[in-house]
Homo-oligomer: A and B are copies of this chain.
Amino acid sequence: MPELRRDPVIGRWVIIATERAKRPDQFGTAAVEKEELVSGEKCPFCEGNESMTPPEIYAIRRPGTTPNSSGWDIRVVPSISPLLHISDSLDRHGHGMYDLMNARGAHEIVVESPRHLREWELSKEQSIKNVNVILDRMIDLERDPDIKYVLVFKNYGIAAGGGHIKHARTQLIGTPVNLKRVKEELAGAKTYYDYKERCVYCDIIKQEITAAKRVVAENNNFIAISPFASRFPFETWILPKEHACDFYKIDRNKIRDFTEIADAVFAGTRKVIGDFPYNFILHTAPFRRDANKRGYWETIDRDYHWHFEILPILTRVAGFEWGSGFYINPLPPEDACKSVREAK
């Protein structure tokens, strides 16, 4: 059975994903990874192949069609090899000095088109529908009291862990604990708020608009920046210009603006470096913060600010990064920003 284990020193959780297990000696045989579907291989996310996934959780379907058959625009299914499971009841316990729990949670795949298209081949209207479905799923998962956080992310390309099936999709992982990285952001943002009585992300937006060196794109509701301390070449954050801590409570009229700025960032970056592997991650406030005011991530709605992080995977993380928690970035974010802005 898969389980979550907690590092006893720094509190980092690890999912021991036994459903993805291989025999120990199989880790050495580094198979050449396929870049695309091979001839005759079927994509489990394409219309007509619904039987290749677990039964759907949710779908936008044409009238008269039945679940798990053709006739859908967007389809949400459990992951084929889920990291966390919705069915179990949460069992958190100790083992000597160690802490662990069963793999309670959720792992869903939002299939963003019935056709075998990549993210950047979707129409604007389809992209808007996809964001709406992600919001619907977050709102539904928020009702599960054991789920504290939903991480929304994309892995695109082999180097970014996206595998060889390039069919547009987003993953949602609902976790029974708050995430280390998000807790760090909440704690840092709270420290800043306590000192300044302002949101650190709102201040970043103001300084970036003034400096005008790291703004990749901007529209009425959103701004895209190359962060001052970018970890990766072409790292970009997209933030709502108006303060907001919960992505899932977004005014749905703003989704069009969001998809437009995301498209502009991806299209501009692709013009500079071509098709590139990336991870795309949402950081938003945890569910039920008011009801969960304990621990150091206790905070109020004024201090945190949701944002998406686009992390192109063009360089390798090595011993220095693993050992330090610091990063080495060979491309100044000002140069990355300028090249993308000029390419658009």
Give chain A's interface residues, CB within 8 Å of chain B: 5-18, 20-22, 24-25, 27-28, 30, 83, 96-98, 151, 153-155, 159-162, 171, 173, 175, 179-182, 184-185, 187-189, 192, 200-201, 203-204, 207, 210-211, 227-231, 233-234, 272-274, 276, 279-283, 309, 311-312, 314, 316-320, 322-333, 335-336, 338-340
Contacts and interface: CB of A to CB of B under 8 A. Distances in A.
Task: Point out which of A200, A311, A320 has the most chain B C-beta atoms below 10 A from its C-beta.
Answer: A320
A322 B201 CA distance: 19
A179 B325 CA distance: 7
Contact of A330 (B21, B181, B317, B322): B21
Given A16-B329, A17-B330, A83 B320 contact: yes
Nearest to A316: B161
Contact of A192 (B8, B17, B173, B326): B8
A5 B228 contact: yes
Nearest to A332: B16
B24 A336 contact: yes
A28 B183 CA distance: 33
B175 A15 contact: no
A98 to B, nearest CB: 5
The 5 closest A-B pairs by CB, nearest first: A161-B318, A28-B273, A180-B325, A153-B319, A181-B325
A322 B278 CA distance: 11
Question: How many monomers of this chain does the complex have?
Answer: 2
B325 A24 contact: no
A325 to B, nearest CB: 3
29 contacts: A7-B227, A8-B204, A9-B188, A10-B184, A10-B185, A10-B188, A12-B326, A14-B229, A14-B230, A15-B327, A15-B329, A17-B328, A21-B331, A21-B332, A24-B273, A24-B340, A27-B273, A27-B314, A96-B207, A97-B200, A98-B207, A151-B319, A153-B322, A161-B317, A179-B324, A181-B323, A181-B325, A279-B318, A281-B323
